[in-house]
A = this chain, B = another copy of it.
Amino acid sequence: MDSSWDDLTLTFSHTSMFPFFDIAHYLVSVMAMKHQPGAAAIARKNPVSSWLTAMLHCFGGGILSCILLAEPPLKFLTNHTNVLLASSIWYIIFFCPCDLVSQAYSFLPVQLLAAGMKEVTRTWKIVGGVTHANSYYKNGWIVMIAIGWARGAGGTIVTKFEQLVKGDWKPGGDEWLKMSHASKLTMLGSVIFTFQHTEHLAISKHSLMFFYTIFLVTAKITMMMTETSSV
């Protein structure tokens, strides 16, 4: 590939997720939480519980990855800025007068934009997870795949476990791993980035991030347009 193309993907791979992409991720996550039956009532009756659930929805992937690597599951709380950002979004979504955010969010282009931006954060999380696991276990490619997947898609696992413990949800025998589309695509991405990291794929990381992100966003928007999406 010629140099200007390389420059483009390199620049893209240096995009900071903070604040706009993170905001989109928190917005989509907390809106998904709000659409669960009874969520709005709980937020008024017991805001501490609702806030904790919102944090699990926003930072679930990171928490799961911490548990699997025996790092403190509270580590996400040390990033004060992001916790504050997620808390503000939780507050605005649940307590804004006239439910303005929900009304704006019900407008399809807004949903598509937010969902697309959330998918971008997924690529960054997978790459972060794979790199982080590699710093623990040099040749542990199975662990790298697992942590990349946990960071990128583990939020749903944590959220389901929380619902199970709260008694809101009863699992059938194999429902846990009836993987959503997002989960499968994250697994695929985790495998690809692990192979790239262990130098079994002859493509630069920034190009791969560019192509994989394009693929994720396209897949997500296609699924949303054809109504088969699961968050």
Interface residues of A (CB under 8 A from B): 38, 42, 45-46, 48-49, 52, 66-74, 77-78, 80, 83, 136-137, 139-140, 142-143, 146-147, 161, 164-168, 170-174, 176-179
A167 & B173 in contact (Cβ 8 Å cutoff)? yes
Q: A78 vs B68: C-alpha distance in the bound complex, in angstroms?
A: 13
Instruction: Find chain B residues with CB under 8 A from A67 CB.
Output: 73
How many identical chains are in the complex?
Answer: 3
Structural contact, A70 and B68, CB atoms closer than 8 A: no
* Extra contacts besides A42-B173, A70-B70, A167-B173 (11): CB < 8 Å: A38-B173, A45-B174, A46-B177, A46-B178, A66-B70, A70-B72, A74-B143, A78-B142, A164-B165, A167-B170, A167-B172
Instruction: Tell me the minimal C-beta distance from A156 to chain B in angstroms.
Output: 15
Task: Provide the bound-state CA to CA distance between A38 and B161, in Å.
Answer: 23
Q: Is the CB of B165 within 8 A of A171?
A: yes
A-B contacts, 13 of them at CB < 8 A, read A38-B173, A46-B174, A48-B177, A66-B70, A68-B74, A70-B71, A70-B72, A74-B146, A77-B140, A78-B139, A166-B176, A167-B170, A168-B173
| Closest chain B CB from A30 CB (angstroms) | 17
For the complex, give the distance between the alpha carbons of A170 and B173 in Å: 13
User: Which residues in B have their C-beta under 8 angstroms from that of A161?
Assistant: 165
The 5 closest A-B pairs by CB, nearest first: A49-B177, A77-B142, A167-B171, A70-B72, A78-B140
Which chain B positions have C-beta within 8 A of A45?
174
Rounded to whole Å, the gap between the CB of A39 and the closest CB of chain B is 10
Most central of A73, A147, A166 by chain B CB within 10 Å: A166
| Measured CA separation A73–B45 after assembly (Å) | 33
Known: A73-B70, A77-B146, A78-B137. A49 touches B174 (CB 8 A): yes
